[in-house]
Chain A
Amino acid sequence: MDWLTPLIFAPLVGAIILAFVPSKQTETIKGVALIIAIITFILSLFVYAQFDKLGAGMQLTVNVPWITSLGIHYHLGIDGISLLLIVLTTVLTILAILSSWRSITEGVKGFFVSMLILTSGMIGVFCALDLFLFYIFWEVMLIPMYFLIGIWGGPRRVYAAIKFVLFTMFGSLLMLVAILYLYFQYHSFAGVYTFDMLKLMQMPIAINPQHWLFVAFALAFAIKVPLWPFHTWLPDAHVQAPTAGSVILAGVLLKMGTYGFIRIAMPMFPDATATFVPYIAILSVIAIIYGALVSMVQKDIKSLVAFSSVSHMGFVMLGLFALNQEAVQGAVIQMINHGISTGALFLLVGMIYERRHTRLIAEFGGLGKVMPVFSAFFMIVMLSSIGLPFTNGFVGEFLILLGAFKANVWYGVFAATGVILAACYMLWMYQRVVFGKVTNPENEKLTDINWRERIILIPLVVLIFFIGIYPTPLFERTEPAVRQVIAHIEQTRQAKQDLERIDERTLALREGAGLSQKVTEKGVTR
């Protein structure tokens, strides 16, 4: 039974239904959107239940021809990595919708329609196994996000929205060309046209084009991650986006980049991956330290969280490119963790912004007295973001650092300073916002978070502790997938080296035996 198709298209169908609800009935619209998000979540739980954690390779696959004349298939399938990201997406979508309950007052219908289309696109990206399909879902996400930032965002939303779109579009177009090149290469290699990722992965590619292809894909993904120095769209987009937009952007959209690396760029171009390891690792380390340092001087809580994302995603990238089991698995877990912690941070920031209409750290102080429940939640989430043991952040960062040390001591050493810096900027911010006396009279009458806001935060806090204390279910599911990716990279490179060695040997033999013959041949042609 095909479980993925209903999962992908449930939000889209919901968006179409929503389009027919009169725009004035805002409560109905919100209700319908929430119900659809919950249905999607339940479907994702079904998928989770159907998933065989011991099985290697792609599961729950669907493969139907779509545009036959071009060899484009509607090919879906998931492994442990995509499974977890899909569940993260559906969870965060519910929370994002709940968080918009009061804050979105204008154009309610358009907002929820965009959210649901976006959800379809995100789940589609994680399920697609056909590069063409992948590209389509990838681009489908772009426009709803453009609207989310541009219509419901902050004062500089127009600039932020267009910057986000142009950066992403630039990357995607490069990716499109690389996809087309692969497509024709595969045709000359195997005689058939296909966009099937699993088939394309089996194709040997000469080293030089491989480098170019890797660069094209890597740029598209690095912009999305965002890896330093391609991150400049992120602070703008994050700060200007409405809370729900920031949650989805940080929680899921950034993962598209790292997911792209582990699903496409690394396994398809193993040799180029090996070549570029030092460059990307160094960029990641720069991102970790730069992001942390810039976070420290932010005056606005939201931009602090945004820059901390740059730092955290740097960890994920470093983990991926350490190319060993520990680090890659840590990176995958950290993708989920970052989604949970940063998502929660954005939700918390959104909650105080709704009350005070400012996010400046200096405006706050002593919130612990007036909003004790909020402060408690804030502390847990903040500590998880720092990576305190027994929270989820620790598990991921520890594994990444372990793997990074194994790969190259210096990567590990420099990256580890990022953990310390994270503690600095987070604790300092927390101290200024929550501790001390209430200095600003406007903060005296703040109300603590209500039941709706607690319902939003509780699942995230539960996940923070659950993953922190008992991460085994996640490891079990991602381990085979990660092992397979690494094994594929190793095998391909090994096979290629063997082949080259054989080639060299035969060449040497031939040269030894047929030297005189060659000379005569040349003589004849002349």
Chain B
Amino acid sequence: MEFQLPDFDLRVMMPEIFLFLWALVVITFDLSTKRRSGAAVAYLAMFGLVITGILLAVAGTGAGFGAMFFNDAASIFFKVIFLGAAFMAIGSSFGLLRQKIQHHRGEFFGLILLSTVGMMFLASSNELLSLYIGLELTTIPLFVCAAFFKDNRLSVEAGIKYLIIGAFSSALLLYGLSLLYGLSGTTDLLQMRINIATTHLNFREIGMLPMISVIMLVAGLGFKLALPPFHQWAPDVYEGSPTPIAAFLSVGSKAAGLIAFAKIMINGLQVFYDQVMAPSDWGILVAVIASAAMIWGNVAAIRQANIKRMLAYSSIAQAGYIMIGMVALNELGMAAVSFYMFTYLFANMGAFAVVAIFEDTTGSTQISSYNGLAKTSPFHAASMSVFLLSLAGIPPLAGFFAKYYVFASAIKMAGAADDKSWLYWLVGVGLLTSVFALYYYANIIKTMYFTTDESPYRLSVASPGSAMVLIGLIGVLLFGLYPTPILEFAAGIPEALGVVVP
């Protein structure tokens, strides 16, 4: 058989190629300055991300290597989120740079950039193998980053835990993917969709195999997204990792898991989302997992005394809300998922930026040490409140619109199709748990504001970390009051992911 190289176009791959090289530049720079690069290396990494963003705009849409690599509305949208998350994570690392990671700055930032490259590849692939490789490239640098404080037991624990869980979930995913390949005879998701659609009735006769495959895939991706019951690693890893890495995990890694989920489950396996296909129907399965995430994430977050653990549980719950839009599986739903992720970028990265500044100044991540912060650091306390209220979904902040779209998509779908009326229950769970969520978010605001004590700590306003807080603040307020441009952009995503229901 003659091997033919598919048509390729490096133009659309420009941002990834550049960012990959830039990661090497960042590492080399640190080495060549004999580890004395200081803050310059972080600025260099951030500069690289900005250039990548510009290249992304220049590169435009199109196919790079067939289904292996192409740019469409969905991949560009998520790439923007990845770049934003990496930018804000690096921006909140300046405190660490000064105190804790003096000897390996280049690696730290280089690894974040490499992980970003992985996410970008993932978002661009529509084929099982490259998708999997992208996912691995995303997570492997993060294992190292999570364990970056070598002398800190919690950090090492976080790294090991993340490594084991990551390897385990990758194995599950790989098993699911290989079954899928066996069933459909292709790794191309679009081709798979056609193959499955034409022969899906036969699959029911095959019996258990599609079901096992779907369960493996949901479990594997569930680990990446930290959805219950595959979420236990998240609080420990968040707590132990350097705070910017926890932030990057909670936004960048989550967005990557989400796009992988959307590509495999929607683009490839939409056929299985049907009651006829029970028990291979992944819709109900994911709905159950999503409600578990909302309930468990929100309830467990109430009891947390450590703010990073609290944010970990809150991000588990947020993933649950996002999945409502995913299982609604209409155009509005996919647009909602994308928009949700976009607002989550600003709110969560912003909140983590405040946590990072606070940790750098005080060395503490306990919620109780935020007592009376409003009096000494009004900017940070107010911004933190805005981020938390946005996460809670209070209008007119961006998080409200995100929640609104997600609920709207589910209600629309439930009203449109009789066999989807269980989506009302999902919305009901979402609503009830939102009240819990407000309780623990408001609890932090209470700690900062509702006390006559004055905090002994004063956070510096003039720092790169505070600039990240400001970016988050602008994002949350701006896209809350005027979400139209993002919505218009997100409107092209469902089509790109092959969602057929209007």
Contact = CB atoms under 8 A, between A and B. Distances in A.
The DSSP consensus for interface residues of chain A is helix
A165 B407 contact: no
A150 B434 CA distance: 21
The DSSP consensus for interface residues of chain B is helix
A136 interface: yes
A139 B395 contact: yes
Contact of B431 (A69, A173, A181, A185): A173
B450 A69 contact: no
B394 A161 contact: no
A185 B375 CA distance: 48
A166 B411 contact: no
Given A106-B452, A146-B442, A69 B407 contact: no
B483 interface: yes
Contacts of B446: 150, 158, 161-162
Contacts of A176: 404, 407, 431
A143 interface: yes
B389 interface: yes
Interface stretch (B35-43, B276-284, B484-492): B484-492
A165 B438 contact: yes
A302 to B, nearest CB: 20
A176 B395 CA distance: 12
B484 A67 contact: yes
Contacts of A139: 394-396, 400
Contacts of A177: 407, 411, 427, 431
Contacts of A135: 395
Contacts of A165: 438, 442
Given A106-B452, A135-B395, A150-B446, A180 B483 contact: no
Contacts of B82: none
Give the interface size class of chain B: 20 to 34
Contacts of A143: 389, 394
A166 B395 contact: no
Contacts of B435: 166, 169-170, 173
B312 to A, nearest CB: 23
A262 B404 CA distance: 25
Interface in B412-438: 412, 415-416, 427, 431, 434-435, 438
Interface in A449-481: none
A157 B446 CA distance: 10
Interface in B463-502: 483-484, 487-488, 491
Given A106-B452, A150-B446, A158-B446, A69 B394 contact: no
A62 B274 CA distance: 46
A69 B431 CA distance: 24
B439 interface: yes
A150 B400 contact: no
A374 interface: no
A173 B411 contact: no
Interface in A135-154: 135-136, 139-140, 142-143, 146-147, 150-151
Given A69-B491, A136-B396, A158-B450, A180 B408 contact: yes
A157 B449 CA distance: 12
A326 B31 CA distance: 85
Contacts of B375: 107
A442 B415 CA distance: 67
A107 B443 CA distance: 19
B395 A136 contact: yes
A208 interface: no
Interface in A177-199: 177, 180-181, 183-185, 188
B418 to A, nearest CB: 14
12 contacts: A70-B487, A136-B395, A143-B389, A151-B449, A158-B450, A162-B439, A173-B435, A176-B404, A176-B407, A180-B412, A184-B416, A185-B415
Interface of A: 67-70, 106-107, 135-136, 139-140, 142-143, 146-147, 150-151, 157-158, 161-162, 165-166, 169-170, 173-174, 176-177, 180-181, 183-185, 188
Given A139-B395, A173-B435, 19 more contacts: A69-B491, A106-B452, A136-B400, A139-B400, A140-B395, A140-B396, A150-B446, A150-B449, A150-B450, A151-B449, A162-B439, A162-B442, A166-B438, A169-B434, A169-B438, A177-B427, A180-B411, A184-B416, A185-B415
